[in-house]
C-alpha cells in the first residue's frame, strides 16, 4: 500500500517525522508507515515538558495491540509542548498520523535537521 508523505516534512529511518516551524521548532510525529506497521495504537507515553532531548534519544513509547515501540528524537532540544490529547485518544495516531503530533521541540542545534531524510529518500527506505 502506498503511504502518504508530506513533501515539506523531514523523516527518520525510525519512522518519525519532523515538521520544522519558524526555523527552530520541530513538531514531531510518527509516519503513516509506522502506524500501519504497528496496527491499532492503544497507548502513548510522552516526555515531560521542559525535558531536554538529544538527537536519536528515546523519549517515549507507542504501544499497539501488536507491539511496543520506542519513539526517538529526530533533533536535540527542549520539549516545549506535548500532545495531551493522545494520552486520552491514542488511536488518533492511526487515523491521522501526519496531523497528530507527539511533541514540539525547540531545537538546540538547527543543523541537525540536515541529517534527516526528504520525503523521497524516506519513501525509498519504506520500499526496502
Q: How many CA atoms lie within 13 A of 14 on its CB side?
A: 18
Under the banding of pLDDT at 50, 70 and 90, the label for residue 5 is confident
| CATH of the domain spanning 10-109, picked from 2.130.10.10, 3.40.50.2000, 2.40.50.100, 1.10.10.10 | 2.40.50.100
What is the H or E stretch that residue 86 is in?
helix 85-88
> How much is the pTM?
0.94
> pLDDT tens-digit profile of 12-65?
999 999 999 999 999 999 999 999 999 999 999 999 999 999 999 999 999 999
pLDDT at 2 over 50: no
Q: Reply yes or no on whether the pLDDT at 1 is more than 70.
A: no
Amino acid at each position: 500500500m502506498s503511504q502518504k508523505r508530506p513533501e515539506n516534512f523531514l523523516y527518520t529511518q525510525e519512522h518519525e517525522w519532523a515538521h520544522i516551524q519558524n526555523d527552530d521548532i520541530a513538531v514531531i510525529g510518527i509516519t503513516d508507515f509506522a502506524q500501519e506497521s504497528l496496527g491499532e495504537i492503544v497507548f502513548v507515553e510522552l516526555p515531560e515538558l521542559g525535558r531536554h532531548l538529544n538527537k536519536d534519544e528515546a523519549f517515549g513509547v507507542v504501544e499497539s495491540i501488536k507491539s511496543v515501540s520506542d519513539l526517538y528524537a529526530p533533533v536535540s532540544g527542549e520539549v516545549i509542548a506535548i500532545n495531551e490529547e493522545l494520552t486520552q485518544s491514542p488511536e488518533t495516531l492511526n487515523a491521522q498520523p501526519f496531523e497528530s503530533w507527539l511533541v514540539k521541540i525547540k531545537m538546540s542545534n538547527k543543523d541537525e535537521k540536515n541529517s534527516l531524510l526528504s520525503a523521497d529518500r524516506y519513501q525509498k527506505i519504506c520500499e526496502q
